[in-house]
């Protein structure tokens, strides 16, 4: 008889302990705002939450890469704007030199400024990024991963931007074109200078068109980066919403369950105490 009573007491105590543990778990759900405290709570949802967490981490890394790409693209655009301004100035100087009204002394001044412009363009070609690396790389351009299996080139190579200019004299780079223009202006023979100046103006015009194209390409790249950032931002919001839907606590439901469990435990404890008072005295006696 005593053995059976002890068994019943043990069963009831274990039941109430389970109820108390359930209450503690619901309280944890409420305090943390997460209904999944361990994978065993909801294995399917927990597995999906893990997938979403990894995807979110990947997208955060890609967003960081896109921010870096945007910074490099912005620097490139600023450099190209400066190059364009310098090419425009070179065009003005060459048109002035082609008028035939400049003295030898004035042509020397024009040539000196053109050489200065060539040096400035060369310096811009050697611009660096915030880490001190070449902005316009020699050889293959920098490729930055921005999504699964995809990359973006934020800045084209130095040769693409500052070289590969098609002129009547062949493929040349911007610096050579401007230096050649300075040489043409200094030609002492009038006839030769006139022909050389005309050819130099054509080459400078080709350089201007080349730079305009490079700036247009850079604008397309910047737009693509912005578009990718917007897509990632939207995707991140969607991932957060999906994760919240899977693991977040429904506060109204949790509070209702907590109150119900607490009332149930209190009632069970009251009944247990009342019914087992005599039995406990018997066991102690």
11-27 confidence digits (pLDDT tens):
767 776 766 666 766 66
User: Which residue carries 């050579």 as its tokens?
Assistant: 176
Beta carbons within 10 angstroms of residue 242's beta carbon: 16
Average pLDDT for residues 69-91, to the nearest whole number? 97
pTM (predicted TM-score): 0.74
pLDDT score for 101: 84
Least confident of 45-49, 193-197, 226-230: 45-49
Q: What is the pLDDT of residues 85-96, one digit of tens each?
A: 999 999 999 999
Q: With contact defined as beta carbons under 8 Å apart, do 178 and 110 qualify?
A: no
CA distances from 22 to 16, 26, 40, 272 (A): 10, 6, 14, 19
Q: Is the pLDDT of residue 3 over 60?
A: no
Helices (H), 163-189: 174-186
**124, 109, 125, 118: which is closest to 90 by C-alpha?**
118
All residues at 6 or more sequence positions from 113 whose CB lies less than 8 Å from its CB, including other chains: 89, 93
pLDDT score for 22: 63
pLDDT score for 251: 59
Average pLDDT for residues 147-156, to the nearest whole number? 90
């Amino acid at each position: 008889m005593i053995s059976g009573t002890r068994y019943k007491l043990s069963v009831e105590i274990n039941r109430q302990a389970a109820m108390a543990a359930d209450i503690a778990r619901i309280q944890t759900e409420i305090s943390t705002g997460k209904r999944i405290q361990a994978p065993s709570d909801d294995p399917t949802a927990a597995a999906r939450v893990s997938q979403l967490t990894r995807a979110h981490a990947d997208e955060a890394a890609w967003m960081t890469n896109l921010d870096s790409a945007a910074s490099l693209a912005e620097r490139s655009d600023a450099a190209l704007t400066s190059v364009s301004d310098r090419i425009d100035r070179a065009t003005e100087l060459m048109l002035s030199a082609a008028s035939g009204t400049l003295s030898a002394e004035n042509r020397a001044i024009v040539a000196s400024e053109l050489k200065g412009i060539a040096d400035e363009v060369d310096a811009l070609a050697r611009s660096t990024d915030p880490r001190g690396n070449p902005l316009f790389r020699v050889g293959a351009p920098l490729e930055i991963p921005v999504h699964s299996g995809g990359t973006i080139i934020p800045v084209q190579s130095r040769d693409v931007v500052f070289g590969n200019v098609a002129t009547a004299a062949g493929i040349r780079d911007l610096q050579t074109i401007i230096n050649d223009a300075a040489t043409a202006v200094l030609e002492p023979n009038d006839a030769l200078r006139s022909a050389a100046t005309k050819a130099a103006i054509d080459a400078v015009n080709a350089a201007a068109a080349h730079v305009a194209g490079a700036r247009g390409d850079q604008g397309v790249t910047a737009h693509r980066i912005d578009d990718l950032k917007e897509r990632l931002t939207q995707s991140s919001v969607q991932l957060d919403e999906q994760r919240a839907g899977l693991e977040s606590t429904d506060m109204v439901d949790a509070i209702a369950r907590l109150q119900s469990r607490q009332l149930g435990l209190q009632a069970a404890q009251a009944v247990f105490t009342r019914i087992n008072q005599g039995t406990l005295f018997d066991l102690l006696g």
